Amino acid sequence: MTSGTNEQISATLVYPYLNHAVRMYEQAYASRGDVDAGMRFGCGYPVGPLAALDEIGLDVVRDALAARYAQTGDPLHRPAELLERLVGEGRTGKASGRGFYTYADGEVVADDETPTADDAPALRHEITRVGVVGTGTMAGGIVEVFAKAGYDVVYVGRSQDKLDAVVTQITRNQDRAIEKGRSDAATKDAILGRLTGATEREALGDVDLVVEAIAEDLDVKTELYRDLDRITKPGAILATTTSSLPITQLGAATKRPEAVIGMHFFNPAPVMKLVEVVTTDQTSPEVDETVRALCASVGKVAVSCGDRSGFIVNALLFPYLNDAVLLAEAGEHQLVEIDAAIKAQVGLPMGPFELLDVVGTDVSLAIQKELHAEFGEPGLKPAATLESLVAQGRLGRKTGAGFHEYA
């Protein structure tokens, strides 16, 4: 496969992704830094999309998108208005000294959008005791994150066996850390000593913040939030790890919508650095700031965004993955060729089909359907091949077959 082919494949898939990121920033949905941090820490990308645009050249990407839009007529390929404006102003990226960032001698320098020490969030609510609802892998990971950071954690599950499984999961992770010289027995004992398991939600009565990590079912979560509103003390913050459901509706189920917020951890929670902090129109600024400060206190990178489908990471990632499927359907390139081109040309840790199989084709299809419903763009309609694989039960690595086959 030639370098020219690699460049063609990467431009076809990556330039629309960059365009989506510009629109997200243009709409003030998320800041410049949060858009880039989301993709770096949520996906392991070497650079964020806006920084990548500065490297490539805004004019180069604008021209390529304009040509693509002339061919396809897809509104998603039309260069974002902000992209057009910046190019018109001569802000074409690193080479010109200004793009989305400001440069001197080829290095990023502070400008009026650069956060200062005064912008660092502070805890506006006292947080000493944290509750977690759920006992799955994500819930257990969140329990471990807070316990490692020194917080007492009350976690609630449906049975003692499920509670014990959380302790087993955390013990295994700590034993692995000890074997690698990253921890010691005293630290492990201290972490386990901060855990209190319970099978009744009433055990959450005195926590300062609850993070729920239960099934992605709006009815189930809504019932939980009604119960948490009854059980938890006044002033307690209610957070959800949902990646897709409307947080506003969860807040509406309570008498404290100002205290309801999203804390979207990424899996595995003890390893992944990113947390998307999602506010609704009702979330109070003090709750928002407290949660962002709390994320920093447990060693996470918090990015802020509003309550709409996909938040930052999924809204940028999954249209790109769907575009990869559409490119393969066009018949000009094989799956392995597309995967290899993206890794070689862009430096991403996995090709799109490898990533789709890790995420799960069923999960990917569900997210893409949500994005299509939210934004109504024809170009976001799930690719036929993705629909077909799910119907066949080829769900990715977890079933041994997805876009690729696994032994």
For residue range 29-84, list pLDDT tens digits in order.
Answer: 999 999 999 999 999 999 999 999 999 999 999 999 999 999 999 999 999 999 99
pLDDT of residue 252: 98
Distance CA 188, CA 320 (A): 41
Separation of CA 54 from chain center: 23
383 contacts: CB under 8 Å, gap ≥ 6:
322, 325, 326, 329
The pLDDT tens digits for 1-15 are 566 788 999 999 999
DSSP state letter for 33? H
Give the strand pairing for 260-265 and 274-279.
Answer: antiparallel
Domains, the chain, ordered by start: 3-119 (1.10.1040.10), 129-306 (3.40.50.720), 313-399 (1.10.1040.10)
Long-range own/partner contacts, residues 3-12 (CB < 8 A, 24 or more apart): 5/333, 5/337, 5/341, 6/340, 6/341, 6/344, 6/345, 7/345, 9/327, 9/333, 9/337, 9/338, 9/341, 9/342, 9/345, 10/341, 10/342, 10/345, 10/346, 11/64, 12/68, 12/323, 12/327
Nearest-Å Rg of the Cα atoms of the chain is 22
The pLDDT score that the predictor gives to residue 244 is: 83
pLDDT of residue 367: 94
Q: What is the pLDDT of residue 3?
A: 63
What three-state secondary structure class fits 371?
Answer: helix
Q: Would you state the structure tokens that stand for residue 322, as one six-digit string?
A: 């769907």
Known catalytic residues are: 243, 264, 276, 314
| Residue 297 scores a pLDDT above 70 | yes
Adjacent-strand bridge partners of 239: 211, 261
pLDDT tens-digit readout, 304-349? 999 999 999 999 999 999 999 999 999 989 999 999 999 999 988 8
C-alpha to C-alpha distance for 172 and 175, rounded to whole angstroms: 5
210 — pLDDT class (breaks 50, 70, 90): very high
CA 379 from centre of chain = 21
Q: 10 Å Cβ neighbour count for 204?
A: 25
Structure tokens that stand for 168 in this block? 């087993």
CB atoms within 10 A of CB 294: 26
Instruction: Name the percent of the chain lying above pLDDT 90.
Output: 95
Find the Cα–Cα–Cα–Cα dihedral 352, 382, 275, 32, rounded to 10°: 80
pLDDT of 2 reads 65
Percentage with pLDDT > 70 across the chain:
99
DSSP state of 305: E
Average confidence (pLDDT) over 162-172: 97
Q: What is the DSSP letter of 396?
A: B
Residue-wise pLDDT for 259-289, tens only, equals 999 999 999 999 999 999 999 999 999 999 9
Mean pLDDT (the chain, rounded): 96
> In angstroms, rounded to a whole number, what is the distance separating the alpha carbons of residues 187 and 168?
16
- Phi, psi for residue 93 in degrees, rounded to 5: 120, -155
